[in-house]
């Protein structure tokens, strides 16, 4: 049975979902997540803020020709940026580790496909209204 649509009845979170993630050692892992609710407009503002933060932090890293360029530094900044993004959008996750900036950094570093799955699922939920796996 369908539910009557009511405008202005904002939920705290989106419906929980389970993401399927390719694991580095092979096979797939299941990652249950619940996202904080953002409207389409709010998510656009969030993405704008994240882009501006990244630009400000990456201003010190120039092109690959620059003296002192380090791919390790670039990857570290990407990991940190991804973790901050996920910390803002995730409400809960189904891992045994507590949901924290440090555990999200570790997730992005060790299983980058999980970070990509989280970020894509959130974008789909807020921009296209798609939920599920």
Q: Tell me the pTM.
A: 0.80
**Average pLDDT rounded to a whole number, residues 16-36:** 95
The proportion of the chain whose per-residue pLDDT surpasses 90, expressed as a percent, equals: 54
Is residue 132 scored above 60 in pLDDT? Answer: no
- 36 or 127, higher pLDDT: 36
User: Which range is least confidently modeled, 24-33, 40-49, 75-84?
Assistant: 75-84
Across the range 34-49, mean pLDDT stands at 90
- Give dist(CA 36, CA 91) in Å, integer: 5
Which residues, 6 or more positions from 23, have their beta carbon under 8 angstroms from its beta carbon? 29, 111, 113
pLDDT in tens, 61-97: 555 455 677 777 777 778 888 999 999 999 999 999 9
Higher pLDDT, 128 or 115: 115
pLDDT at 119: 93
Q: 40-58 and 112-127 are packed helices; what angle lies between their axes, rounded to 10 degrees?
A: 140
Choice between 15 and 3, residue whose per-residue pLDDT is larger: 15
Residue with tokens 């950094």: 105
């Amino acid at each position: 049975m369908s539910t009557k649509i009511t405008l202005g009845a904002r939920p705290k979170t989106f419906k929980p979902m389970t993401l399927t993630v390719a694991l580095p050692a092979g096979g797939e892992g299941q990652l249950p997540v619940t996202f904080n609710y953002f409207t389409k407009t709010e998510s656009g503002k969030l993405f704008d803020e994240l882009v501006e933060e990244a630009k400000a932090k990456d201003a010190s890293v120039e092109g690959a020709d620059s003296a002192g360029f380090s791919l390790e530094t670039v990857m570290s900044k990407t990991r940190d940026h991804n973790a901050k993004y996920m910390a803002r959008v995730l409400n809960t996750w189904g891992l045994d580790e507590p949901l924290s900036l440090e555990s999200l950094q570790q997730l992005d570093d060790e299983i980058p496909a999980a970070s990509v799955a989280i970020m894509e699922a959130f974008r789909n939920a807020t921009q296209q209204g798609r939920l599920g796996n």
